Structure 1
């Protein structure tokens, strides 16, 4: 059954591709979708790299707590490598809203959650909107998905977790020196300050009706 469904989906996609190639308007839409997907992929690369660095910081603290300084040094070095990676164009994906300007830094999104408003009540129309929003999300069109939900009377809450890049880099570099000097307690505190530097930026997209 799954194979039949998959085959049907592939056949549908192939037919759709033929139709898109036949019209200029649809070709433009396809190009726009491809651009959205590329941007989403780039953002994910940044987010994953930042999240992995923060994970290494957390695990380094855990290693210190359990008395394994060698592992803590390795994890801290790994975090430093991820944060210093110049092949990643961090500046392109820095959050620049008011909350991200508390200190002179570059706040990078490393995680995010999206939820429907608490007063959500299911209706056939809203369920259809959610299905459409899921389709847009699958293509990397987060804005389109949120707009679809809002127009259907569904509020959306988004939480973004922002890492201050420069501040985190400095904290990790300081921790590396302290670990090399055997100052494990002090290194733990500095790594904790890096964790505590994460800012949660919440935004509510209210329903339009």
Structure 2
């Protein structure tokens, strides 16, 4: 599974996908300008897991063992950064979950006229700069049909399934190992929400202590009172 990196493309189709990565709205780890932060290590774990299943089907169990070990290592690293990611799952009964893929869709008829094209170009620029408020202003109430769909990986369920698969591969139980990996894949959850609402709920960026002060600096010299200045008469 690859994170979508195609160029932004809008057509008149009923369902239109906008690439998060191409918009530069997506980042990994703690990128301060990323409006959407995915788990890079979680994505690596997912990809290794899927490739391990293919290796089993292709009769390459040794490759499957290596890929499962890679998935296990990546998942352990992903767990450390789970709290730093921007997108949070609304599902609470599956334990900690990390976002491994995301996309934007427009779920109504969309005709790309010059005005819409200009609007999308402005939206692109704001997303690249991490300007959530300005992006919302560009989208406007009429474009609340823009939906953010995220694929989440539950850490506990995936970790257990990978451990089980590793044990089964060691016992040469390849069919059972594949089923364990499939169980992990089946536990991934897809959630959708309004992109406007998502942007509005993002925490405001903290002002840096090193941020430039206003023109009226606190250290600017104050005008001195002249001793020769005329005193007011009583």
Unaligned runs of 5+ residues in structure 1 are 1-35
Question: What is the aligned partner in structure 1 of residue 41 from structure 2?
Answer: 49
3-state SS of the aligned residue for 1:195? helix
Q: Give the TM-score of the pair, scaled to structure 1.
A: 0.70
Indicate whether 1:175 and 2:169 are aligned. Answer: no
Out of 107, 112, 116, which is 2:106 matched to?
A: 116
Residue 177 to residue 52, structure 1, CA distance change in 2 (3 Å): same
Unaligned runs of 5+ residues in structure 2 are 1-29, 198-234
Q: Give the TM-score of the pair, scaled to structure 2.
A: 0.63
Contact persistence 1:150–1:205 (CA under 8 A) = no
- Displacement, 1:157? 1.7
Contact persistence 1:94–1:108 (CA under 8 A) = no
Out of 34, 45, 55, which is 1:40 matched to?
A: 34
Question: What is the aligned partner in structure 1 of residue 21 from structure 2?
Answer: none
State which structure, 1 or 2, has the greater radius of gyration over its C-alpha atoms: 2
Indicate whether 1:128 and 2:118 are aligned. Answer: yes
Deviations 1:82-116 (A, max 9, x none): 01127842123275443x22x33111110001123
User: Quick one: distance in 1 between partners of 2:166 and 2:94?
Assistant: 23
User: Quick one: distance in 2 between partners of 1:196 and 1:87?
Assistant: 19
Contact persistence 2:161–2:181 (CA under 8 A) = yes
| RMSD (CA atoms) | 2.8
Question: What is the aligned partner in structure 1 of residue 174 from structure 2?
Answer: 184
Equivalent residue runs for 1:29-178 within 5 Å: 37-38=31-32, 40=34, 43-44=37-38, 46=39, 48-85=40-77, 88-93=80-85, 95-98=87-90, 100-101=91-92, 103-141=93-131, 144-145=134-135, 147-151=136-140, 153-154=142-143, 155-178=145-168
